[in-house]
Chain A
Amino acid sequence: MKSRHQRLLLILAGLAVLAAIAALVLNAFQGNLVFFFSPAEVAAGQAPKDRMFRVGGLVKEGSIRREADGVTLVFIVTDTEKELPVRYKGILPDLFREGKGAVVQGRIGGDGVFAATEVLAKHDENYTPPEAAQAVGDARKRREAIEATAKTLQK
């Protein structure tokens, strides 16, 4: 075997070992690499109880309301399976909307409400012109209307 072949094998073996180590380490740290927990995971008690953590999900449609002081905001974060009420006082990012993704940081208070100190908006990987988004929304509405009519007719 030529020495350059030996070096090639050595490097390949080294990289394979390295990849295996990385995979094991990442697997071991799995829990710490997660940026946020889902409301279902929080409900299952997987979130840390003694320190701050983040919860991510969709802001439930129609759930945003202001408390009497006018600056404190209460809304519900949902993963469509479980829901978590959140209270937050502060500035919201522009993209924070009902029905869209958000990540909140804080801890769960005694009353079961998540007291957030930071609210981040999460957007998805879709980029569409407004007219297209409008068209998709309209089409969905039309389809729903047709389905509703069909249901009524069946009755």
Chain B
Amino acid sequence: MEIRLEHLTKIFPGREKKNPKDVVAVSDFHFVIPDGKLVGLLGPSGCGKSTALNLISGLEVPTEGRIFFGEDDVTDLPPEHRGVGLVFQNYALYPHLSVRQNIRFPLENLKGEAKLTKEVMEEKVLEAAKVVQIEGLLDRKPSEMSGGQQQRVAIARALVKKPKVLLLDEPLSNLDARLRLQTREEIRRIQCETGITTVFVTHDQEEAMSISDSIVVMKEGRVQQVGAPQEVYDSPANLFVAKFLGNPQINVFEGEVVRERLRIGEDDVLAVNGAPDGRVFVGIRPEGFVWKEDGAFRCAKKSVEVMGRDSSILFGHTGAVTTQPRAIMDSEIASQKIGGEVRFDLRPKKVFLFHPETEERILFS
């Protein structure tokens, strides 16, 4: 089911004494989530991504704008009539019910003609349990299971009614690092198998990049950029997106464009055809530095962080806005010399220019 958000806005009225200002949680969301895709809503805490998810689920009513599932306008429908499955951050499994009862719970709510017999319910419960591979744990209580298993139960409960849309709120944040890797693959697999349009919320860029077909980067209730993960990484729309995606973070410098040449500090580092003259923020991905004897970018090497296959060279530069700029390269090259001046050439595709005030991207060729 395709999800279409049209100028969606959610304003929480400020409570009078504590915070008299209205809070704009979601502002003018306007994009389409294609049918059968896995989409990640990505942003720092408090950027409104959970509110966006709640708007899609129907738990919150938008202040303005419409939501369409396919051709149907669902804006005024309560959550139970939208056909959504929702997985909560803390799973919200009912602690007093067994796994089987938890997964069956949504089915038992069906009334009238939709009412199911016990046998059909059992069948559906088993089917959902199989998708998430917990069919052996059906008689356990949630408290007797690990976080990852609880997560699967929550997904099974969301899937059992065959929703048109599956929504996951920070699905991996309560898992330890290893389980997180495993579970995100699992979510990807379940999504592929069922083909359900899935939206998930996360503040972890790596998580979003690794499994999404498409990511929506948000900041302070506004959409910054929508696109395939690689596309957004390779071509960030503004400084925020550039800084938010990528680990280690992008290095930011103050620079200046003079007659289509980019200067950082003393050095003339790159030809930037088509960029207007003036001060700019320069973002350089850590992998954008190429070590070279007579490279154009000079800096003072401070130390090397060895990470195995690659190493980071930490360096100092007078024009740096980033507190600790770093370049990533082969461990062999990085370890050659410690201290003193190093020189780099820059890969043009890994260098982005941003307007100093609006922080919007300035394109060059």
Same complex for A and B? Answer no
Binding site for A on B (CB under 8 A): none
Binding site for B on A (CB under 8 A): none
